Structure 1
Amino acid sequence: MIGKGVRFVKRIYQLRVIGLSIGFFCVAAGFLQNPVGWPLWALLAFHGYLWPHLAYRLALRSKIPYRAERLNLVIDTAFGGFWLIAMQGNLVPGAVILAMLSMDNIAAGGTRLFLRGLVGSVVGALLGLLLLDFRFLPQSDIYTVVACLPMLALYPLALGKSTYDMSKKLAERSREFETVSQRDGLTGLLNRRYWETLLIEEFNICRERKQRSSLLLLDLDHFKNINDTHGHLVGDEVLKNFAQLLRDNLRADDLIGRYGGEEFVVILRDISFSEAETLAARLIEQVRRHRHEHNSLWGCTISAGLVSFHGDMEAHYSWLQRADNAMYRAKDRGRDCLVAEGE
């Protein structure tokens, strides 16, 4: 928890600076309607223009800024309860100040922080009753009402803008997490869990819409020798280079994933078997051309199994099993070749 909440503190700091500087005029209007002494004016100036910066520094210097800032929000509501008493219960500015402070607490910490703020408001009000000469004068004149309008108009806009910005960041972070959960960490290709989900979807599309698609499984030949001879770092480079070669030589609609180890899978969507076979053969030839390039595939070739969708397949795993068998038949034939099963 140590150090947690710095961004939260900075977000609240901006809102507090805006809210309390505008709120100053609400309370000041109440003071002018029901005059008070200079100590209360001084305390109001402190709360409106110095407290936001002090609260910010205190929160950042604490071990757990998040907790410190939540305490600051409760202190804000305690001030709100105190101002209500100091204004002799002036209804409009008191309601505006407490409503805006409660809105802050709800936005920052939900019901629990709202309830803590409510307690803070009661404590502040009790302190005001203890220290001040209170007379209940709830009526608000026109000048006080007008002075509260900027708070009613501007502060909800600032809070809404802050909430919108935070929602955008959360949406971006959610998309990043979603991408990470779908991708293989080394190659950047689709990981097995995700591409198998897509294979199920493709299987259902082919069955329901009679779409033609093929499944291509690929295995890097002699890859184990690279790890044993040159080490796993070189092996990782080979895998990443091969992944890039797949991206460069397959269609944008093709779904490329890592099956596991040195095995890869490609879902060739909406393609005739002859076109899929031509594409797979061209891919094998591209690997042959790149295998001896410096720091590329370190001599690797590929064995490939290509199987088109068949209506008699029970489920997606039947499709996958057939492609896997075809790939291993390619290995049995001496590697660096394609075994294909058409419609």
Structure 2
Amino acid sequence: MPSPKPRSRSEKSRARPASFFSFKRAQRAFGDSPSPEELIGKGVRFVKRIYALRVIGLSIGFFCVAAAFLQNPVGWPLWALLIFHGYIWPHVAYRVALSSKIPYRTERMNLVADTGFGGFWIIAMHGSLVPSAVILAMLSMDNIAAGGTRLFLRGLLGSVFGALIGLLLLDFRFAPEADLYTVVACLPMLALYPLALGKSTYDMSKKLAERSREFETVSQRDGLTGLLNRRYWESLLIEEFDACHEKKRSSCLLLLDIDHFKNINDTHGHLVGDEVLKNFSQLLKENLRTDDLIGRYGGEEFVVILQDISLREAETLAARLIEQVRQHRSSDNMLWGCTISAGLVSFHSDMEAHYSWLQRADHAMYQAKDRGRDCLVVEGR
């Protein structure tokens, strides 16, 4: 008999039972998405942030449960467990998380353990409505803030598990009414803990905003010279081109190339070449205006958008820059004898797009090369 034809991937997927997909969905909902290898050593700051919140929350929450215990008296073992959870557990959880291989994951387990305690206390308080609602709300806020929906769902399971343990171990009788003292004891938790959580969230969002600004700066700057990188500079050139069209503004484009730079790399090595590029970049910053947009276009080529300037003023500025390079090319080996060739082009309304402007500047710069280097060529002159 002929062997059966192997099934395609889609056929295999259709053949899998619905329970398989339900299991995979549940696994995605309750599991950690990063692999353990990616998380090793991660989460120390997370542990420290949760530690501060746990110390505040559990020390205040102690009084909520204690007031319910006074309303419905319990034995000393529950009081001892309450003292442990309120004032000892935060420090134990902190040490355990920091000493673990993956602090981030261990701390998330600690948060689930908190919800287990919460479910247990609800049973121990005989379902006293006000403190139970406060405890559940605060624990849910913790889990949502720390891990989103996944940790919240884990926390729900933890609360159910803790409640089941309470039902097995304790003599539960449903008594949802809370007296005035219990309600008053819950007020500090309602007032102070959200403030602490909000402050922690605000501090974290500030750090994230600062980090985002740092990443944005890195994405816009050339790593060696600190000037604008080519991609970001070209986006600014497009904006300037459009502004010149719409606002009839006069701007100029300056393209610069370091002469004989390849000889520097070949003779003295790339470290010296990098030093020349950094020194030249510093000269550009010192001799151009603060609002001029300076970029490294690639290799030893540099570009400058001279905003809101006449061609005559731009020519004077570029000539002064070339003279400064001549003066510094041998001083303490700052530029190792290099000069620059430059092309200068003012904006014209007949230019089709920003790249036309750039092409003209490039053409003017290569004319300077053809004329013997170490000079400036202005388009049309």
| Number of the residue aligned with 1:293 | 331
| CA distance in 1: counterparts of 2:118 and 2:140, whole angstroms | 10
Q: Where does 1:78-227 land on structure 2 (aligned, <5 Å)?
A: 78-227=116-265
1:144 is displaced (CA, Å) by: 0.4
Q: Find 2:343's aligned residue among 294, 305, 311.
A: 305
Q: Find 1:52's aligned residue among 90, 94, 106.
A: 90
| CA distance in 2: counterparts of 1:292 and 1:111, whole angstroms | 64
3-state SS of paired residue (2:295): strand
Identity, % of aligned positions: 86
Q: How many residues align?
A: 343
1:342 is displaced (CA, Å) by: 6.0
| Number of the residue aligned with 2:5 | none
1:62 is displaced (CA, Å) by: 1.1
1:341 is displaced (CA, Å) by: 1.9
| Number of the residue aligned with 2:282 | 244
| Structure 1 residue ranges (4+ consecutive) displaced by more than 2 angstroms after TM superposition | none
| Number of the residue aligned with 1:40 | 78
Aligned AA (2:160):
V
Q: Find 1:23's aligned residue among 48, 61, 78.
A: 61
| CA distance in 1: counterparts of 2:187 and 2:124, whole angstroms | 20
| CA distance in 2: counterparts of 1:282 and 1:119, whole angstroms | 73
Q: Find 1:326's aligned residue among 364, 368, 377.
A: 364
Deviation track 1:85-118 (CA, whole Å, cap 9, x = no partner) reads 0001111111101110110000001111101101
3-state SS of paired residue (2:373): coil
| CA distance in 2: counterparts of 1:293 and 1:224, whole angstroms | 20
Q: Structure 2, unaligned stretches of length 5 or more?
A: 1-38
Deviation track 1:267-311 (CA, whole Å, cap 9, x = no partner) reads 001111111111000100110111110031111110000000111
| Number of the residue aligned with 1:65 | 103
- With over 3 angstroms needed to count, the CA separation of the structure-2 counterparts of 1:48 and 1:124, relative to structure 1, is same
| CA distance in 2: counterparts of 1:116 and 1:16, whole angstroms | 18
Q: 1:338 aligned to 2:380?
A: no
| CA distance in 2: counterparts of 1:197 and 1:18, whole angstroms | 49
1:63 is displaced (CA, Å) by: 1.0
| Number of the residue aligned with 2:15 | none
TM-score, normalised relative to structure 2: 0.89
3-state SS of paired residue (2:172): coil
| CA distance in 2: counterparts of 1:140 and 1:342, whole angstroms | 90
Q: 1:317 aligned to 2:359?
A: no
Asked whether the equivalents of residues 308 and 342 of structure 1 are also in contact (C-alpha less than 8 Å), the reply is no
Asked whether the equivalents of residues 216 and 267 of structure 1 are also in contact (C-alpha less than 8 Å), the reply is yes
Deviation track 1:6-25 (CA, whole Å, cap 9, x = no partner) reads 11111001100000000001
Q: Structure 1, unaligned stretches of length 5 or more?
A: none
Aligned AA (1:10):
K
Aligned AA (1:113):
L
TM-score, normalised relative to structure 1: 0.99
1:217 is displaced (CA, Å) by: 0.4
Asked whether the equivalents of residues 330 and 336 of structure 1 are also in contact (C-alpha less than 8 Å), the reply is yes
3-state SS of paired residue (2:332): coil
Deviation track 1:185-222 (CA, whole Å, cap 9, x = no partner) reads 00000000000000000000001111110000000011
| CA distance in 1: counterparts of 2:216 and 2:244, whole angstroms | 26
| CA distance in 2: counterparts of 1:270 and 1:51, whole angstroms | 65
Aligned AA (2:233):
W
- With over 3 angstroms needed to count, the CA separation of the structure-2 counterparts of 1:48 and 1:342, relative to structure 1, is farther
Asked whether the equivalents of residues 273 and 342 of structure 1 are also in contact (C-alpha less than 8 Å), the reply is no
